[in-house]
Structure 1
């Protein structure tokens, strides 16, 4: 892989060990995937934030790094709400370690808005055709598919390496030829709300790491596209998809020859029933529109079960009256974290979600039974004694 003179200097350690390690990571990736060069990126989004997932070794590694990021960079959700961690039931030792992780990233110049939906609070992180290095699976899918930016499925270390250098290897979804769709998904059903998460749950298992091209009867909102992509990234490894007439690059392509038809009965089969002791929303983090919908459903009511709604701190901070409407019901609005990456979820036995992504991850990462339901069904369960 070709390196510029400045990149060679980094590799030779002329800017210190942190930058040397960063470019070594990128060069190794480039060599593995036959990249011809490193390309500039507009932003980075960095996973590996929750102490639950990275532990003591991760904390030690991040704390040893010395330098500053070269491009706007933002963190993925942490293992707790930074302000309301006691209310979540987080232990003090965990909170201390989690705070040290976030402060170590902050020392590198990373924005500490811990969210899996950075595009909802920063308009300038990614645009059509921009190269970025994002590492959270649902954010990757949204960047590639809905925004039309270009990113591979970065790991936490490679995204941080890209942030420090402002570069990423030129391979995978950064190249035109790898953004073509591989499989046509014909959906013979009218979809709404959590149906997109259920659809994504099915298609991810079918598509694996291929690029689906959807023909839909319904016109999805951006939140529904977010839910679709998040579920496909969780049940499979889908990092890019196209929706005919909707997503910005779909017009470039003819539908692929390989075709799969998804019927309404298959989508309904993903849903389940049961009695949850936690009902959780916000995987990925809830948007303003999603919070407003939940507020309408909860207005004048009182929840009888534990209800968590996860969103970004920026949205909670900018919409205090909306948050108050929700919390009047007894539901809790948490920031900086989600039900998947927080150890607080592990004290429950059964969780009801409206997210295909959470439905896939909760049993494996939290050891908790998961029930997928519509948003209305989740609220109805929250109101029952």
Structure 2
């Protein structure tokens, strides 16, 4: 991989140990993936923020790196293992809290924002075509697919290295020729709400790292696309998807490939000429079978907000909880950024007895003491049984609300 003279000086240690280590990481990645050079990034998002995942070895590395390394682009941080204010309600061990705050301190020392969220796109304006270095699988796929920015599926350490250098190796999804869909997913039934998260969960396990084009019979909301991508990225290694109307629909296709594939004419509006390696059909019946798989289990925890809730999701939750009182632990996850700006909305939700939790999520926090959780997220449904050892069932948002209201 070609390095400029300034980049070579960083690699030689002339800018300090922290930058040298970051450049070594980027150099190794570039060599592995045959990148031709480093390119500038507009911003970064770093995962690996929970002490649950980092452990003492990760914490010590961050402390060492923070001695002389600073990020040079706008950089946000993924959820940590607790809500900094409500950690006692979450039954978090005080020793874990102490270690987690050391992790956060190291990141802040490097200049990283401490708004800990898996939805950084709610915090900043991401423009189409921007080059990013994002970790957090659900944010990556949303940035590539919905915002039409460009990022590879970074790890926490590679995103951090890019944030320190301000550049990333030029390969993979940063190149237009690697962003072409190669498998079609046909959904002939109308779907909504949590159906999209399950659709992603089912599809990801089937296609692994391919780039799907979803032919839909419904028009998805942005929140539904968020859950589709999160499900895809949790069960497969999907970093990019496309979507449009079902081929049998008479409605005009909007060819969203134009922004990615320069060789295609700007006035091309149909996808008939795309050649897919494979076609898969997923039905509403397939989706409904996931809902019913563990429906017989009684949940003692209800979780919404994986990925973190948007304002529109919080408003819907509030409308469903109006004049009601929850009977179970009900965790609604969002960012502190949103919570601080919608105080009245949050207060109305919490009047029901539900807890609006910030900084964390059920996947990266050391939750314990529950026999079964109910979620509305394909990602949480996939991860919670393995990462938290909590049996998990999935329902629609309204079904989750109703579950929280019964003893």
Q: What TM-score do you get using the length of structure 2 for normalisation?
A: 0.92
Of 306, 324, 329 in structure 1, the residue corresponding to residue 347 of structure 2 is: 324
Aligned match of 2:85: 83
Of 395, 399, 407 in structure 2, the residue corresponding to residue 373 of structure 1 is: 395
Task: Please say if residues 209 and 238 of structure 1, whose CA atoms lie closer than 8 Å, have aligned partners that are also in contact.
Answer: yes
| Deviation of 1:347 (Å) | 2.0
**Structure 1 residues 356 and 247 mapped into 2: Cα distance closer, same or farther (>3 Å)?**
farther
Is 1:195 the equivalent of 2:195? Answer: yes
Aligned match of 1:281: 304
- Deviation track 1:31-62 (CA, whole Å, cap 9, x = no partner) reads 00000000000010000000111111111110
| Deviation of 1:256 (Å) | 3.5
- Deviation track 1:159-212 (CA, whole Å, cap 9, x = no partner) reads 000000000000000001110001011111101100000100110011100100
Once residues 121 and 2 of structure 1 are traced to their aligned partners in structure 2, the CA distance between those partners, rounded to angstroms, is 34
Residue segments in structure 1 that go unaligned for 5+ positions in a row: none
Task: Find the residue that maps to 2:368 and give its secondary structure.
Answer: helix
Aligned match of 1:266: 286
Q: What TM-score do you get using the length of structure 1 for normalisation?
A: 0.97
Of 313, 318, 340 in structure 2, the residue corresponding to residue 295 of structure 1 is: 318
**Structure 1 residues 12 and 25 mapped into 2: Cα distance closer, same or farther (>3 Å)?**
same
Aligned match of 2:257: 249
- Deviation track 1:3-24 (CA, whole Å, cap 9, x = no partner) reads 0111000000000110001000
Once residues 320 and 255 of structure 1 are traced to their aligned partners in structure 2, the CA distance between those partners, rounded to angstroms, is 48
Task: Find the residue that maps to 2:187 and give its secondary structure.
Answer: strand
Structure number with higher helix proportion: 1
Aligned match of 2:124: 122
| Deviation of 1:255 (Å) | 4.0
| Deviation of 1:333 (Å) | 0.3
Instruction: Quote the RMSD (CA, aligned, Å).
Output: 1.2
Task: Please say if residues 79 and 341 of structure 1, whose CA atoms lie closer than 8 Å, have aligned partners that are also in contact.
Answer: yes
Count matched residues. 382
Task: Please say if residues 114 and 336 of structure 1, whose CA atoms lie closer than 8 Å, have aligned partners that are also in contact.
Answer: yes
| Deviation of 1:122 (Å) | 1.4
Once residues 320 and 207 of structure 1 are traced to their aligned partners in structure 2, the CA distance between those partners, rounded to angstroms, is 42
- Deviation track 1:56-81 (CA, whole Å, cap 9, x = no partner) reads 11111101112210100000000000
- Deviation track 1:364-383 (CA, whole Å, cap 9, x = no partner) reads 10101010110111111111
Q: After superposition, where does 1:1-385 map in structure 2 within 5 Å?
A: 1-65=1-65, 66-123=68-125, 126-244=126-244, 245=253, 248-249=256-257, 254-257=273-276, 258-272=278-292, 273=295, 274-343=297-366, 345-385=367-407
Once residues 258 and 52 of structure 2 are traced to their aligned partners in structure 1, the CA distance between those partners, rounded to angstroms, is 38
Moved over 6 A (4+): none
